[in-house]
Amino acid sequence: MNSEDTSPQPHDDDSRYAPPPVPQNYVPPVSLSSPAPGASTPTQAAFELAARIRREVGKVFLGQVEVVDQVLASLLAGGHVLLEGKPGLGKTHLVLALSRACGIHFGRIQFTPDLMPTDVTGHTLYDMGSQKFQVRKGPVFTNLLLADEINRAPAKTQSALLEVMQERQVTIDGETIVLDPPFMAIATQNPIEQEGTYPLPEAQLDRFLMKVLIDYPESAHEIAIVANVAAAAAGQGLNPGKVEQVCTGADILAAQQATAEVQAVEAVVHYAVNLARATRASAGISLGAGTRGAISLLRTGKAYAILGGRHFVSPDDIKRAVLPVLRHRVAIAPELAISGQDVDSALLAIVQTVEAPR
């Protein structure tokens, strides 16, 4: 490889992507799969796990409570996140803090117009010593993947993530390799720069469980951020390196299983389906949500139930999931867009028209 080669390298060869060592004082949380008599239930253990992660992330990512909860809900549901916000609002900062708190392998891909699909998934090389082709794994072989500025790469490169996001596996020259769980992709994009960007295809957008919007922080939080960051040399205050590991990959997998087992009564399932179907019948929506949208509403509703310490999904959990789950799965009608309305306002109007179970 020459000095000009800037293609991403696999995390196996880069210690920066290795999980931090387990602290000496680390105490594993209560087992979620088979709690001892009198111990926490799977729901309670998953709730406590999420609380620990939220607390650690909150040390360096101030404010934006709903944003953090949405990312945590996606983690519990085993989904992926499209994180959208203007520059300098902490998108990458949030992902780095999350990876440190979870203690899992972290990989990062900086998407650029010249990025090739093989730079994402990996490729085969001929080894002269063994006289065989060897698979060189790409940066997607990790547990938490940051796809930074994903819309700066063309659709061909973006589509390299389709298989790994949906099936948790990668096919390289006909060989299918399954990723080690857990796996979560968080992609970021800047909504204000259009030059040199490529809109994500509908199939790619549909693979994301949520589209999370980061807005400017409140005044008090912004003052605290500025003061803390500027207090350290080279502006390194609120460094994600200060975040402590509070769980392992096995803990996350157990919490995801507990989330999947959260109860959802028939009426709540119908409510999620009715909301998705209502987007297809709305005059203000030109492209409605598909069945995966209804599935995602229920999966996210279960995660919100865990965050609330409950073992059942409520209609309010489904309502809370509508905007982050459906905003990237629907398209607003041109006449509404001209009048100044956006997707979120159209979805909120639909929520008002669909009767929730009591």
* pLDDT tens string 235-266: 788 888 889 999 999 999 999 999 999 999 99
Residue 82's CB: how many other CB atoms inside 10 A?
A: 26
- The answer on 315 and 235 residing in a single domain is no
- The domain boundary residue, chosen from 208, 237, 261: 261
State the DSSP string of 236-273. Answer: -TT-GGGPPP---HHHHHHHHHHHHTSB--HHHHHHHH
- The answer on 140 and 32 residing in a single domain is yes
Give the CA count within 13 Å in the CB-facing half-sphere of 212. 29
Look at residue 6 and tell me if it is in a domain: no
pLDDT at 354: 95
Q: What percentage of residues in the chain have a pLDDT greater than 70?
A: 88
Tokens of residue 20, six digits: 């931090």
pLDDT at 88: 87
Residue type, 229: V
Nearest one of 281, 293, 280 to 321, comparing CA atoms: 293
pLDDT at 199: 83
- More reliable by pLDDT, 278 or 6: 278
Secondary structure class of 137 (helix, strand, coil)? strand
* pLDDT class of 2 with cuts at 50, 70, 90: very low
Residues 6+ apart with CB under 8 A from 282: 288, 346, 349, 350
- The answer on 280 and 224 residing in a single domain is no
State the DSSP string of 298-339. Answer: HHHHHHHHHHTT-SB--HHHHHHHHHHHHTTT-EE-HHHHHT
- The answer on 339 and 223 residing in a single domain is no
Distances (CA, A) of 174 to 8, 118, 162, 232: 22, 13, 16, 50
pLDDT at 295: 97
pLDDT at 25: 40
Look at residue 122 and tell me if it is in a domain: yes
Look at residue 220 and tell me if it is in a domain: yes
pLDDT at 103: 92
* pLDDT class of 31 with cuts at 50, 70, 90: very low
Look at residue 233 and tell me if it is in a domain: yes
What confidence tens digit (pLDDT) does each residue in 159-215 have?
889 999 999 999 988 889 999 999 999 999 988 766 668 888 888 899 999 999 999
Rounded Cα distance between 191 and 158, Å, is 17
Q: Which of 33-37, 262-266, 277-281 comes out lowest in average pLDDT?
A: 33-37
- The answer on 247 and 330 residing in a single domain is no
pLDDT at 27: 40
- The domain boundary residue, chosen from 261, 291, 317: 261
- The answer on 195 and 73 residing in a single domain is yes
- The answer on 79 and 214 residing in a single domain is yes
- The answer on 143 and 127 residing in a single domain is yes
Secondary structure class of 280 (helix, strand, coil)? helix
* pLDDT class of 279 with cuts at 50, 70, 90: very high
- The answer on 242 and 106 residing in a single domain is yes
Rounded Cα distance between 98 and 107, Å, is 12
- The answer on 201 and 100 residing in a single domain is yes
Q: Structural domain tally of the chain? A: 2
Q: What are phi and psi of 184, to 5 degrees?
A: -140, 130
* pLDDT class of 293 with cuts at 50, 70, 90: very high
* pLDDT class of 38 with cuts at 50, 70, 90: very low
pLDDT at 99: 94
- The domain boundary residue, chosen from 213, 228, 261: 261
Q: Is the pLDDT of residue 18 over 50?
A: no
We report the CATH number of the domain holding residue 353 as: 1.10.8.80
Look at residue 266 and tell me if it is in a domain: yes
Q: Is the pLDDT of residue 316 over 70?
A: yes
Q: If you compute the radius of gyration of the chain from its CA atoms, what whole number of angstroms results?
A: 21
Residues 6+ apart with CB under 8 A from 92: 146, 148, 188
Secondary structure class of 184 (helix, strand, coil)? strand
- The answer on 244 and 322 residing in a single domain is no
Which structural domain, as residue segments, surrounds residue 219?
11-261
- The answer on 155 and 188 residing in a single domain is yes
Rounded Cα distance between 305 and 307, Å, is 5
pLDDT at 194: 66
Q: Is the pLDDT of residue 12 over 50?
A: no
